[in-house]
Every structure is written in structure tokens, then in C-alpha cells.
């Protein structure tokens, strides 16, 4: 009987830990809701030129979809290469400043890059929509040093 009681307590503990972990992961707060995220308007392409890396995931997905390496060039173009456990992807396009962000639209995808200061760290949030499938992705990128 004592063994079943211990198993029940362990099961309850495990479930509680899982629930707390999921809630903590979801409570990270978006830049729009978290005061520690300060928008940095992109006034010139030179502010973000260089290599960036980050994790991208589909909207409403729990786990990151894959890692992506992003290069933004001084001629207002971008290149990216990314991979998940099962696929790889590459792409490129042109960028233009719009309302303090960089936006791009190709036949295949639309992208929006938004720059933030998050607790003293420069972070670029990327949103992308695949025109063929309608799938939306978002990622958080930091500059490669």
C-alpha cells in the first residue's frame, strides 16, 4: 500500500512539474507585452548588416522548428540557411525600411524584421509567411560576434 501511495505522489509531482514548466515557457511574454523589450527603429540598413543566428518555429508550435543563419547585406538584401531534424531550407530577398522595420516580399515569402533591445542585448525578431502554404513562422535572432 505504501508503494502505491509513493507512486501516486510521484505521478502528481511529475504532472505538476510538467504543467509548471509549460506555463513558465508560455509566460515568457511577447515584446508587445513585456516592458523589458524596447523597440529600436531601424533607420538605416547599416544598423543590422551582418550575420545573425536564431531559432525559428511555426506559429502556435510548442517547440522550435529549427536553427537559422541569416545574413543581411549593405545592399539591402538578405540570405538565410536553416535546418530542422528532417529538412533544410535556403532563401534570399530584398529588404526595404518601413515604419522602423525592414520588410521584404518575394514570390515565395513575406518577411518582417524588427529590432529590439532586451535587457541590454540586441535582438531581432523575424516574422515570415510562406505565400504557397500560408504557414507563418517567427524567430528570435542575435548577431553573430
Task: Give one DSSP letter per residue of 68-96, joined into a string.
Answer: EEEEE-TTSEEEEEEE-SS-EEEEEEE-E
Other CB atoms within a 10 A radius of the CB of residue 109 amount to 17
pLDDT tens column, 95-142: 999 999 999 999 999 999 999 999 999 999 999 999 999 999 999 999
pLDDT above 80 (res 7): no
How many residues are given for the chain?
Answer: 145
Q: At 145, is the pLDDT very low, low, confident or very high (cuts 50, 70, 90)?
A: confident
Q: At 6, is the pLDDT very low, low, confident or very high (cuts 50, 70, 90)?
A: low
Structure pTM? 0.74
Amino acid at each position: 500500500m505504501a508503494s502505491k501511495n509513493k507512486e501516486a505522489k510521484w505521478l502528481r509531482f511529475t504532472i505538476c512539474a510538467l504543467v509548471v514548466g509549460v506555463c513558465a515557457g508560455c509566460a515568457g511574454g511577447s515584446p508587445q507585452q513585456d516592458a523589458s523589450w524596447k523597440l529600436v527603429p531601424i533607420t538605416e540598413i547599416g544598423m543590422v548588416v551582418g550575420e545573425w543566428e536564431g531559432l525559428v518555429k511555426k506559429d502556435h508550435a510548442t517547440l522550435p522548428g529549427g536553427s537559422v543563419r541569416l545574413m543581411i547585406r549593405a545592399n539591402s538584401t538578405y540570405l538565410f540557411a536553416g535546418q530542422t531534424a528532417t529538412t533544410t531550407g535556403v532563401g534570399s530577398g530584398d529588404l526595404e525600411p518601413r515604419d522602423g522595420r525592414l520588410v521584404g516580399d518575394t514570390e515565395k515569402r513575406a518577411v518582417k524584421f524588427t529590432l529590439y533591445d532586451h535587457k541590454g542585448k540586441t535582438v531581432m525578431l523575424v516574422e515570415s509567411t510562406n505565400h504557397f502554404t500560408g504557414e507563418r513562422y517567427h524567430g528570435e535572432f542575435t548577431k553573430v560576434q
